[in-house]
Chain A
Amino acid sequence: MAKYYAGQDGSVELGGVAVAKVVQWSLTANTDALEVTTLSQDVREFTPGVRTASGALTVLYYDDAPVKLLNQVNQEPADLSVTKLATLKLKFDDNFFEFDAVLTSAELACVVGEVMRVNVNFTMSGDFTSKQL
């Protein structure tokens, strides 16, 4: 039977340390489409441009699970583990994407009847440092 992956296979590492209570992560890779259509053509033609990737992850605010992420977003000077770029590793089972990223935003949501959660958005800096699919 073919192997499939589910949410229980997923995890996230920040700077080589597993982030606890991750609910979801997502990653979107993009490539710019540069137009190379000339005046002798009547159909648009494109060539690949610059590549980027960005995404988001959600962490439950359970104990201090998201604190390192929030410090990274705020570039908290009191936290000596904070670096300019965050090294993220998005994993599912034995597969993973590893890259440096800027954590661009954090959204804290506190709702009646739900566990408080933190949504963090990131933008990859440079290419993937390693990946296994």
Chain B
Amino acid sequence: MTAISFPALVPSARSYTPGVFPETQFQAQNGAVVRVRYGNQRTNSRLSLTFSNITDGDAAEVLQNYVQVMEGDNYAQFTTNNVAAGAGSVVGGEETGLIPFIRETNSALKWKYASPPSVTSVKPGLSTVTCEFIGELEGV
């Protein structure tokens, strides 16, 4: 499994959900709930990114990243200078704020594309790109 760096682009909109702990719920007739937990790690976190009005060249870099990540057993890697920019800071080498979640450095999750990126042409030379990522447990 190889980490593929995401292009040096800062999103204009970002949405994150931390995923769930795998479990099954059983509810008795009196309403009591019993949960059977299958793991102690989050899975299926979600990250939606929008890059508004970027150049067609930058949009092509995102598409190329999609191909590189999905053509093999790879995953996308983000940095505090691109996707996680503005979500916190790095103090003494320690990531603060939302950065550990956005980068999933506080879990065993790896970012894969949940669906192909969507490119909307705005005007000649400019496009808006949206990406959907899913955090999957790998090698655990």
Contact = CB atoms under 8 A, between A and B. Distances in A.
Contacts of A49: 122-123, 126
Contacts of B52: 34-37
A26 interface: no
Q: Binding site of B, secondary structure by majority: helix, strand, loop or mixed?
A: strand
Interface in B72-114: 85-87
Contacts of B122: 34, 49
A40 B85 contact: yes
Interface residues on B, range: 10 to 19
B126 A47 contact: yes
Q: Binding site of A, secondary structure by majority: helix, strand, loop or mixed?
A: loop
A35 B85 CA distance: 18
A39 B12 contact: yes
Q: Which 6 A-B pairs have the closest CB atoms?
A: A38-B10, A40-B85, A39-B86, A40-B86, A34-B53, A40-B10
Interface of A: 34-41, 47, 49-50
